[in-house]
Amino acid sequence: MTRFTRLPALLTLGVLAVAVAGCGGDGDTGGAPPADATEGAAAVEIENPGVITGTVMFTGTAPDLESIDMDSEPVCAEKHEGTPVQESVVTGTGTLGNVFVSVREGLSQEFPAPSTPVEIDQSGCVYEPRILGVQAGQNITIRNNDAVLHNINATPEANRGFNISQPQEGMTSDRSFSASEIMVPVQCDVHGWMTAFIGVTDHPYFAVTGPDGSFEIENLPPGDYVLEAWHEVYGAQTVNVTVPPSGTAEATFTYDAAMSASAVVPVGDPVDLHDHHISPVAVTPAG
């Protein structure tokens, strides 16, 4: 539990309390120190960079999505045409969206966090986007577009969590995570259906698939990589990819509708959604 993370803090706090009081106002934003203004992935020189492109395929029949009862939040309900649904499984024709794809092994460089924040909105009492990638140390700008209270309760395992609120429309908050973690669940407790997942990596090589299942990861140093796909219902799987100098590598993941029931991921290790420490990554033949 995250409670354990408070123990070392307690030990030092006793000593540092006076200093803390003196410093004041520190720690207003959670997580790591803000990134330098000048860097970002582009700042790291990559020789003969390559690209991974690919698709997340989906077989079987997608489940009907759970409808959301927004009757008691008219401000949000009126932003939706028809009954809003829980977009936990987004599919195209034989493809799966909202899959977080990231490089898990094979990188040796350090990548400073970009200075530009990524954004996540709360609009119509749903998170937009639902699946979000961010680099460790990079700011996440959280915005409330609804005229109701939202709280943003992030419950990571490897990072310090936060639980903050935005009682009024237009409010924004900046937060960041200091360590890589796939994935950090985010929840609004006022509207229990509001869920998002943030993938935190220590490099810029990640992507989220659209409904067509496609993704592209650019500017990679040539080399061998373990690529992982993560889906909130169907779990995680990995493939091995070799990126040629100045070339393009293909990667394909395949999920099946039955996976939710079997809870076993055929490619790679079975993944427990509750275990956010998904490692070490098993290297399996690319599909």
* From candidates 49, 112, 161, 223, binder to other proteins by CB under 8 A: 161
Site string for other proteins, 207-236 (x = CB under 8 A): -------------------------xx---
Q: Which of residues 26-85 bind other proteins (CB under 8 A)?
A: 26-30, 63-67, 69, 71-72
Q: Which is nearer to other proteins, 38 or 61 (CB)?
A: 61
Q: Are 28 and 174 in contact (CB under 8 A)?
A: no
Question: Shortest Cβ distance from residue 18 to other proteins (Å)?
Answer: 6
Q: Strand 118-123 relative to strand 140-144: parallel, antiparallel, unpaired?
A: parallel
Choose one: 17-25, 210-218, 237-245, 251-259; the region binding other proteins (CB under 8 A).
Answer: 17-25
Tell me the site size for other proteins, rule CB under 8 A: 61
282 scored as a contact of other proteins (CB under 8 A): no
Q: Are 159 and 31 in contact (CB under 8 A)?
A: yes
Peptide bond preceding 129 in cis form (omega within 30 of 0): yes
Task: Output the CA–CA distances (angstroms, integers) from residue 59 to 62, 203, 234, 258, in the order listed.
Answer: 8, 31, 12, 9
Rounded Cα–Cα distance for residues 208 and 214 (Å): 8
285 scored as a contact of other proteins (CB under 8 A): no
Q: Which is nearer to other proteins, 115 or 153 (CB)?
A: 153
* From candidates 115, 195, 214, 284, binder to other proteins by CB under 8 A: 195
Rounded Cα–Cα distance for residues 25 and 101 (Å): 37
Q: Strand 235-243 relative to strand 248-256: parallel, antiparallel, unpaired?
A: unpaired
Count Cα atoms within 13 angstroms, Cβ side, for 102.
Answer: 25
Provide the 8-state DSSP code for 193. T
Choose one: 7-15, 136-144, 220-228, 279-287; the region binding other proteins (CB under 8 A).
Answer: 7-15
Q: Are 56 and 256 in contact (CB under 8 A)?
A: no
Residue 213 CB contacts under 8 Å (≥ 6 apart), including other chains: 55, 56, 57, 58, 92, 94, 95, 96, 97, 99
Choose one: 94-102, 119-127, 180-188, 202-210; the region binding other proteins (CB under 8 A).
Answer: 180-188
Q: Which of residues 121-160 bind other proteins (CB under 8 A)?
A: 148-149, 151, 153, 155, 160
* From candidates 118, 164, 179, 257, binder to other proteins by CB under 8 A: 164
Q: Are 97 and 90 in contact (CB under 8 A)?
A: yes
Q: Which of residues 239-268 bind other proteins (CB under 8 A)?
A: 260
Binding residues (CB under 8 A) for other proteins: these are 1-4, 6-7, 9-10, 13-14, 17-18, 20-21, 23-30, 63-67, 69, 71-72, 86, 88-89, 148-149, 151, 153, 155, 160-165, 167-168, 171, 173, 185-187, 189-192, 195, 232-233, 260, 273-274
